[in-house]
Amino acid sequence: MEKSFKVLEKYARQQERDIEIPDSLPCIPLRNGLGVFPNTVVPFYVGREKSLIALEEAMEKYNRLLFVVNQIDPSVENPGPEDLYRVGTIVKVLQIMKLPDDTFKVLVEGLERARVEDFISTEPFFLVRLEVLKVKYRKTKKLEALMRSVKDKAIRYFNLTRKFPQETLVTLKEMQDPDRLADFVASILPVPLETKQELLETVHPLHRLEKVLSILVKEIEILEIEEEIEKKVKDRIEKTQREYVLREKLRAIKEELGAEEEVEIRELYEKVEKGDYPEYVKEKAVKEIQRLEKMSPYSAEATVVRTYLDWLLNLPWNVTTEDRIDVKETRKILDRNHYGLEEVKERILEYLVARKFSKNLKAPILCLVGPPGVGKTSLGRTIAEAMGRRFGRMSLGGLRDEAEIKGHRRTYVGAMPGRIIQIIRRVGTKNPVILLDEVDKMGISFQGDPASALLEVLDPEQNKDFVDHYLEIPFDLSQVLFITTANVLHTIPPALRDRMEIIEIPGYSDPEKYHIAKDYIVPRIANQYGLSRIEFTPGAIKKIIREYTKEAGVRNLERIIEKVVRKSLVKKERKHLKIGTKDVEELLGPAVYRAEDVLEEDTVGAVTGLAWTPAGGSVLIVESLLVPGKGNLILTGYMGDVMKESAKIALSVVRKMCGEECRDVFEKNDIHIHVPEGAVPKDGPSAGITITVALYSAVTGKKVKKDVAMTGEITLRGKILPVGGIREKLLAAKRAGIKKVILPERNRPDVEKIPKEYLNGLEIVFCREITDVLKEAVLG
Known catalytic residues are 686, 729
Report whether 377 belongs to an annotated binding site: yes
CA dihedral for 672, 676, 682, 684, sign (positive or negative): negative
Instruction: Give CA–CA dist 61/26, Å, rounded.
Output: 10
Q: Which of 540, 596, 597 is nearest to 564 (CA)?
A: 540
Q: If DSSP codes are grouped into helix, strand and coil, which group holds residue 25?
A: strand
Report whether 372 belongs to an annotated binding site: yes
Report whether 303 belongs to an annotated binding site: no
Q: Where are the beta strands (DSSP E) in 466-575?
A: 466-467, 474-475, 481-486, 501-504, 533-536
Instruction: Give CA–CA dist 359/523, Å, rounded.
Output: 39
Q: What totals of helices (H) and strands (E) does the chain contain, helices first?
A: 29, 26
The alpha carbon torsion through 71, 76, 81, 82 (nearest 10 deg) reads -90
Which value, in Å, is the radius of gyration of the alpha carbons in the chain? 39
Q: Are strands 501-504 and 365-369 parallel, antiparallel or unpaired?
A: parallel
Contacts of 331 (CB under 8 A, 6+ apart): 345, 349
Q: Give the CA distances from residue 595 to residues 509, 720, 735, in Å, rounded to whole numbers and listed in that order.
A: 16, 30, 9
Distance of CA 113 to the CA centre of its chain: 45
Burial of 355 (0-12, 13-18, 19+ CB in 10 A): middle
Instruction: Give CA–CA dist 622/634, Å, rounded.
Output: 13
Instruction: Give CA–CA dist 612/560, Å, rounded.
Output: 24
Q: Decide if 681 contacts 640 (C-beta within 8 A).
A: yes
Q: Decide if 150 contacts 209 (C-beta within 8 A).
A: yes
Query: Read out DSSP for 154-215?
Result: HHHHHHHH--S-HHHHHHHHH---HHHHHHHHHHHS---HHHHHHHHH--SHHHHHHHHHHH
Amino acid identity of residue 427, one-letter, is: V
Report whether 375 belongs to an annotated binding site: yes
The DSSP element (H or E) to which 454 belongs, if any, is: helix 450-457
Instruction: Give CA–CA dist 544/593, Å, rounded.
Output: 10
∠ CA 260-278-316, nearest 5°, is: 75
Report whether 374 belongs to an annotated binding site: yes
Q: If DSSP codes are grouped into helix, strand and coil, which group holds residue 316?
A: coil
Contacts of 374 (CB under 8 A, 6+ apart): 505, 506, 507, 508, 552, 553, 554
Distance of CA 535 to the CA centre of its chain: 34
Report whether 373 belongs to an annotated binding site: yes
Amino acid identity of residue 765, one-letter, is: V
DSSP state of 757: G
First-residue to last-residue Cα distance in the chain: 96
Main-chain phi, psi angles of 66, to 5 degrees: -140, 160
Instruction: Give CA–CA dist 767/688, Å, rounded.
Output: 14
Q: Are strands 365-369 and 126-132 parallel, antiparallel or unpaired?
A: unpaired
Q: Are strands 708-710 and 740-744 parallel, antiparallel or unpaired?
A: parallel
Q: Are strands 713-714 and 720-721 parallel, antiparallel or unpaired?
A: antiparallel
Q: Decide if 60 contacts 9 (C-beta within 8 A).
A: no
CA dihedral for 736, 739, 743, 748, sign (positive or negative): positive
Annotated binding residues, written as ranges, equal: 370-377
Binding-site positions for ATP read 370-377
